[in-house]
Every structure is written in structure tokens, then in C-alpha cells.
Amino acid sequence: MILTLFPFKGASEGILIFLKEALPKRLPSLSCKSGPPLSLPPLGFDPLRGQWQAEALLTHLAQSSDPTSLRLGVTGEDLYSPGLNFVFGLALIGRGLAIFSYHRLRESFYGRPDNQKLLCLRALKEALHELGHALGLRHCHRWCVMRFSNCLEEVDEKPDTFCSNCLKRLGLPLG
């Protein structure tokens, strides 16, 4: 299965390179390639919130890419979804389409010195989580990357791997 990573304007090249190498190690049936950079949809920005509506970016990604492939949009912008203060990402369940943001995964967002290694680990977890949704998985209550994360601490607590139940649902060998 081929995953195409689509960077939205301004996305970190370092995070994209890391994800291209790390994602296939967690999903062995996956190979990654880079898609062209995408612009941010102007109507997706809410100036009162200073955030981008996740659904607008997801729609823009859907309209800008091959609907038969697995696609992950990557952004450094702050995302929200109606009714929520923010989201780390969003996916269409089972439709091969997802986006995630590393904006709130950065230590500097919380007034602390940035840590690239920690940022990459968090980005991997959220990329895997959203890809899990794109491949049909729902939230999992086990020790699993599919566990819901409502805050950074919950991202840090969960592993960067799928549990045995989620691996079975994905049709992957148990590790």
C-alpha cells in the first residue's frame, strides 16, 4: 500500500523526512512518497480564533489528490473543528484520507524549549492515529496508538504502535 504525504504550505521538511522513514516501520505493508505541497485554503482560516478549520484542509486535500490512494496531509498550523477548541488531526473513517497538525505537539507552544526528537515521536503517534482512522479504525481503549488524545499529556502517554486487536483489524501481522 502506498501512502502519499502532502505537506501544506510551511510544513517542516524535517518532520516529513522523519515520517517517510518511520511510518513504514510501524505499518510494514506501507511505502511512503511525497506529494506536491498544497496551499492552505483561504476560506478555512478563522481570524477570530487564529486557527484553521480541519475540515477545510481535509476537503482541500481530497480535491487536490487521487481519491484511490491513501493520503495524509501534514501541517504546522493550529487546527480546530466546530465545537472543539483544537484538534491534533482529522480523518474520514475508512476513506483513505487524513490530516494532522504538529502545531500543538511542539514544546514551544507551551512556553518550553523545543525538542525535535520529542516532536518527531509525537508527530509519528498522531500520524499513525489519523492513518488508523483513514484505514477504518475507531478509537481504541487499549494500550494503543488509536487511543483518543485530548491533550499533549495523553499523546505522550500512549505508545507509537497499534495493539494486537487493531493490527488484526488492519490485517497486519502481530508484532
d(CA 4, CA 153): 29
d(CA 95, CA 73): 14
For CA atoms 8, 14, 20, 23, give the dihedral sign: negative
126 is catalytic: no
d(CA 83, CA 97): 22
d(CA 57, CA 36): 15
Selected catalytic residue, list 21, 55, 130, 154: 130
d(CA 132, CA 48): 32
Task: Please tell me the total number of residues recorded for the chain in this structure.
Answer: 175
Q: At what angle do helices 116-134 and 13-26 cross, to 10 degrees?
A: 60
Question: Do residues 144 and 160 lie in contact, with contact meaning Cβ atoms separated by under 8 Å?
Answer: no
For CA atoms 9, 160, 23, 70, give the dihedral sign: negative
Residues carrying an active site annotation: 130
